[in-house]
Amino acid sequence: MKRIVIIGASSGLGRRISEDFARIGLRVGIAARREPQLKAIYERYPESVVYRTIDVTAPDAVERFYDLIEANGGMDILLLASGTGHINPQLDVATDVTTVETNAVGTVRILDAAYRYFRDTANDTPGQIAVITSLAGTKGIGIAASYSASKRFQSTYIDALDQLAHQEHVNIRFTDIRPGFIRTPLLKEGRNYPLEMAISYAAPLIEKAILRRKRVAVIDSRWRIVSGLWRMIPQCVWSRIALELKDSDNKS
Ligand SMILES: NC(=O)c1ccc[n+]([C@@H]2O[C@H](COP(=O)([O-])OP(=O)(O)OC[C@H]3O[C@@H](n4cnc5c(N)ncnc54)[C@H](OP(=O)(O)O)[C@@H]3O)[C@@H](O)[C@H]2O)c1
């Protein structure tokens, strides 16, 4: 039975993917900060799920992560789905620092620990490290500077660990999942997001990418085209594009 550990499982994509994987018979270790939400998933799938509270910004996150892996009977796949992000053109410092601590520093903590775990265990069967990064990491986005930069950080960190794993002959596959907008609690209610996807549509695409061990998965094909076009825009032009997101009751 495949064993997956999912960090950021208390809501949104992590929660949906945890439940889907538990339903198809994977052994699923789940974590986030909010215990009642984790317990509710455990109570629906007590045979397949174990849970621990983990705050990826806290120094004890690694210890708790290893404890969860042990409770799960081991780990074949890590899915890092924890994250936070805000529209913050006013550059509120506390918001930006929390975003970087969660998305960048938290990623370093968990991915370093997962790498070390697989280095010590994945001699025969390859381990897999999957992260839900974002297409927001494709370009610096002015109204969400710390979010877009921290998502770029995650993708670059995966690339770096992938190179290190080859260099050290460590048997780990890496999966960088880059979605466009998906309607989860991360998105502000009442605000319109372009090409928004339902979680019921996007989660199965993400699950397929993980199980097929894709190296990079853009979710979905429409966003693949959009992000391909973004990449071609020179920075001097990109800097002059005014991006904004409108509230749905104010579409004019
Ligand atoms: N929704 C989108 O449009 C979209 C698009 C591209 C990428 N993504 C990425 O997808 C991932 C999942 O987001 P989502 O859309 O599913 O949003 P979400 O519903 O807000 O889920 C975020 C998850 O991260 C956990 N989390 C946040 N801070 C944490 C911390 N310090 N320690 C541990 N867990 C923490 C939350 O749990 P607790 O609060 O209980 O800790 C929650 O389970 C994020 O990395 C996000 O950037 C989302």
Coil, helix or strand for 173?
Answer: strand
Q: In terms of pTM, does the model score above 0.95?
A: yes
CA distance 208 to 48: 20
User: What single letter denotes the amino acid at residue 175?
Assistant: T
Ligand 1 nearest-atom number relative to CA 103: 45
Q: Is the pLDDT of residue 206 over 60?
A: yes
- Best probe residue, ligand 1, of 18, 78, 84, 109 (max atoms within 8 Å of C-beta): 84
Contact 27/72 with Cβ under 8 angstroms? yes
What mean pLDDT is predicted for residues 60-74? 98
Percent pLDDT > 70 in the chain is 96
CA distance 120 to 27: 21
Compute CA distances 57 → 88, 97, 110, whole Å. 20, 11, 10
Topology (CATH level 3) of domain 3-238: Rossmann fold (3.40.50)
Binding site membership of 84 for ligand 1 (Cβ less than 6 Å)? yes
- Reference 141, options 244, 4, 216; nearest CA is 244
Binding site membership of 65 for ligand 1 (Cβ less than 6 Å)? no
Q: Is the pLDDT of residue 107 over 70?
A: yes
In the chain the beta strands, taken as DSSP E runs, fall at 3-7, 27-32, 49-53, 77-80, 127-132, 172-179, 216-219
For ligand 1, the distance from its centroid to the CA atom of residue 45, given in whole angstroms, is 21
Tens of pLDDT, residues 82-101: 999 999 999 999 999 999 99
For ligand 1, the distance from its centroid to the CA atom of residue 238, given in whole angstroms, is 27
CA distance 132 to 171: 21
Tens of pLDDT, residues 166-192: 999 999 999 999 999 999 999 988 888
Q: In this predicted structure, what is the pLDDT of residue 161? A: 98
What mean pLDDT is predicted for residues 217-237? 96
Q: Is the pLDDT of residue 251 over 70?
A: no
Chain mean pLDDT for the chain? 95
Q: Is the pLDDT of residue 114 over 90?
A: yes
Q: In this predicted structure, what is the pLDDT of residue 190? A: 87
Each domain of the chain, given as residue ranges in start order, spans 3-238
Q: Is the pLDDT of residue 21 over 80?
A: yes
Q: Is the pLDDT of residue 239 over 70?
A: yes
User: What is the residue whose two structure tokens read 């969400």?
Assistant: 144
Q: 69 exposed, middle or buried (CB, 10 Å; 0-12, 13-18, 19+)?
A: buried
Q: In this predicted structure, what is the pLDDT of residue 249? A: 46
Return all residues near 78 (Cβ < 8 A) that are at least 6 apart. 4, 5, 7, 110, 111, 114, 127, 128, 129, 130
Q: In this predicted structure, what is the pLDDT of residue 191? A: 86
Q: Whose CA is nearest to atom 8 of ligand 1?
A: 134
Q: In this predicted structure, what is the pLDDT of residue 248? A: 55
Read off the pLDDT band of 128 (50, 70, 90): very high
- Best probe residue, ligand 1, of 97, 111, 131, 186 (max atoms within 8 Å of C-beta): 186
Q: In this predicted structure, what is the pLDDT of residue 242? A: 84
Binding site membership of 204 for ligand 1 (Cβ less than 6 Å)? no
Q: 166 exposed, middle or buried (CB, 10 Å; 0-12, 13-18, 19+)?
A: exposed
Q: Which two tokens stand for residue 106?
A: 């938290």
Q: Is the pLDDT of residue 245 over 80?
A: no
CA distance 89 to 28: 38
